[in-house]
Chains A and B, each alone.
Chain A
Amino acid sequence: MFGPGIWRMKRFADSVPEIIDLQREINRLFSNVGQGATLDYPAVNVWEKDNSLVVTTELPGMDAENINISVTGATLTISGMSKADPIKEGETYLRQERELGSFQRSFQLPFQVDSKAVEAKYEKGVLKVSLPRQKEDLPKKIRINS
């Protein structure tokens, strides 16, 4: 049933971005089945191009200096702390839905990162970290002698 035909499907999907979105959505729906665990915070999107990765994550309302990003070899760690508005005695929260407090998350990257060239930007509450691959780690093309 899952013969080679499924690969033909993939090529079709590549040409229609909406289908990729749909596929992603379905994968996500089923990826948590049976685990019952919530996703780690913060949720990230990872983007790839040639020899670099971009990690984006939504961290609304932080101060840039309260976000720590560190890269060691092929591990990226994002941590930080967000605070609630200080309220005085006698004042009450009627709703508290926002995620506040400290968080930390580490990622294993598929390559060694050139830690000096890592760039991070934080605007509109969205953090974007660019992670270029280390030059020494780039795949070498082997010439074939005839």
Chain B
Amino acid sequence: MSDKDLQKTENVAVTEKIRNVKTFIPRVDIYETKEALFLIADMPGVDEATVDVELEKNILKISGRVENGKVKDYNLVLSEYDVGDYERTFTLSDEIDRDKIRATVKQGVLRLELPKAEKVKPKKIAINAA
């Protein structure tokens, strides 16, 4: 484990919700392969029904809604973390093939595959002998 802050970071830039909940910035890993960009976001408490991925122009917005993390009939006696929604936006370059974006959610982790557009994939150019 690294030394970085282990607490969730609140997203203060986001528009306020009508529900009185906090909004957090999900932690993400992004890596790149030849064919695609992969984005993995930690959003504990969401499932496929409560997570949203929107793409408007070149702004990718991921958001998740979390029902309150309360345990029914129990009283909270020690609290180290807060439960709330998630929201984060990224600017995509034009290199992404928008129609082929795929998203899956498993155990509170959102996984996005953003395939690169055909035209920017590296192409080997054959050189003919003169």
**Which A residues form the contact surface with B (CB < 8 A)?**
24, 28, 38-41, 43-49, 53-54, 56-63, 84-85, 87-88, 91-99, 101, 103, 122-126, 128
B1, B27, B31: the one contacting A94 at CB < 8 Å is B31
Cα of A53 to Cα of B79 in the assembled complex, Å: 13
**Does B96 interact with chain A (Cβ within 8 Å)?**
no
Cα of A56 to Cα of B69 in the assembled complex, Å: 9
Does the CB pair A94–B40 fall under 8 Å? no
Does the CB pair A60–B42 fall under 8 Å? yes
**Which B residues form the contact surface with A (CB < 8 A)?**
1-3, 5-7, 27-34, 37-38, 40, 42-47, 69, 71, 73-81, 106-109
Write the nearest CB–CB distance from A84 to chain B, whole angstroms: 7
- Name the residue among A47, A63, A96 with the largest chain B CB count within 10 angstroms: A47
- Report chain B residues within 8 Å CB of A28: 79-80
* A44-B81, A47-B77, A58-B81 as given contacts; A93 in contact with B45, CB under 8 Å: no
Does the CB pair B76–A47 fall under 8 Å? yes
